[in-house]
Amino acid sequence: MSKPDAFRRMICRINGSLDHASTQLLDVYWGSSFHGKEAATLGRLLALRAPFSRWRSLRLQTPVTLSPGALFHAPSMQGFTALESLSMGGAQTCPEMLHIIGQTATARLVELDIQGSYISPAEFLRHGGESILKFVRTMKIDNQFSNHSSFGRHIFPPNVTNLHTFAIPLIPLPHIRHLIAKGTPLLHLQKSSFPSLITLDISFASAADKFGDSILFPSLTYLVYRGPSFSQLPLIHAPALVSLQLRGNHIWKASAEDMLVHAFQKNLQYNLTPSSLTIDVHVRKSTMIIMISRHIERLRDLCVTLPSEEIAQHVVEHLLKASQDTYGSIIYAILSKLTLKLLWVTNDHPKWRALARKLVDSPNFSSMETVFIEWKDGSSLLERRT
């Protein structure tokens, strides 16, 4: 297919999409460059049927410079007054578009994603980035932005409360309330401060990166900690923690499991006491029992993903047996909800219903209200205290 034919077909598809959208706001993906007559044709179509004022989200995804000519300067294109989300992953400099967004965006623009962008921090700021940032609440950035000193001074006004990143910026972040940091160096976490952080979803870059002072999160309520490196977990101090989720990939090495055992059984620094615990890691049954036992004293809600019937049955039998001990009858008394997610398919529902019934009816689980069991095929059962 020739280039002119491909362009004509693209225009037909755009017209069809606009017919379907009617007067609704538009989610726009821009993945091509246009010049000359093509830019003029596209500009006329958008000015007539899809001005910037209808764009709800814009995703710039192209390895080449965007240059749609007079499109940006047509008065009928209006401004980005309805824009809520801007994503620039993969895009190179597009100063005209950034400039217009910076001049015309409103408080509706709450999300900015510049992960994987070819735009440098200096270019972003020079072409309207500071004006864009004054509205944004959620930022998604990569290493080149989080490590750039001049950008760091501008990027986090008080309105930015949600941050997704790989390397945490080495600056105080007093207004960040929600943080997702994947594969971050431990040092970056230790050198920043998060007095307002409520939710943290984190994984670390290296298992060897595990030494140093503990990290205080005074307001942290929800923590999602992702493996395979669990050696840094004992360094996290969160006195207000309510919910802890331990998650890992499904390919486990003995070294990763040893980290878990060390963190929960031998490390005196570990002091997390959540009332809700989710365990979604594939480990030996002995390790699973250690993980549950380390937290059980404060737990009201326990959710465990179990990879085999043997491990699942062992966990249930352990709970029943441990709760009958003198000390166990006290610490298990506050557990009110148990969820078992079983990663196999079974036809023996009666056996599992009987086990669930035992847990619900046990006098030592005096607060137990529900036991919910779900299998890989989506089948499930629920037992309630009567």
* pLDDT of the chain, 386 residues: tens digit per residue: 677 888 899 999 999 999 999 999 999 988 777 777 887 888 888 888 999 999 999 998 765 444 555 555 556 678 899 999 999 876 665 777 788 888 899 999 999 998 877 777 788 888 888 889 999 999 998 766 766 555 555 678 889 999 998 878 877 889 999 999 988 888 778 888 899 999 999 998 776 665 667 899 999 999 999 988 888 888 999 999 999 999 986 545 666 777 778 878 766 778 899 999 999 998 888 889 989 988 888 899 999 999 899 999 999 998 888 777 655 556 677 899 999 999 998 888 899 999 999 989 888 888 899 999 999 999 999 999 87
Per the listing, tokens 């046990």 go with 362
> Closest by alpha carbon to 81, among 51, 97, 60, 104?
104
Where in the sequence is the domain holding 23, given as residue range(s)? Answer: 1-147
**Domain membership flag for residue 162:** no
- Report the alpha-carbon distance of residue 286 to residue 110 in Å, rounded: 46
Q: What is the pTM of this model?
A: 0.88
Q: What is the pLDDT of residue 77?
A: 73
**Domain membership flag for residue 40:** yes
**Domain membership flag for residue 39:** yes
Cα 288 off chain centre by? 25
- Report the alpha-carbon distance of residue 326 to residue 364 in Å, rounded: 10
Q: What is the pLDDT of residue 47?
A: 84
**Domain membership flag for residue 364:** no
**Domain membership flag for residue 299:** no
Q: What is the pLDDT of residue 263?
A: 78
Q: What is the pLDDT of residue 64?
A: 44
Residue 130 tokens read as: 């500071």
**Domain membership flag for residue 55:** yes
**Domain membership flag for residue 153:** no
Q: What is the pLDDT of residue 71?
A: 57
Domain count of the chain? 1
Could you give the angle at the alpha carbon of 238 between the alpha carbons of 178 and 182, nearest 5°? 45
Task: Output the domain CATH number for residue 80.
Answer: 3.80.10
**Domain membership flag for residue 135:** yes
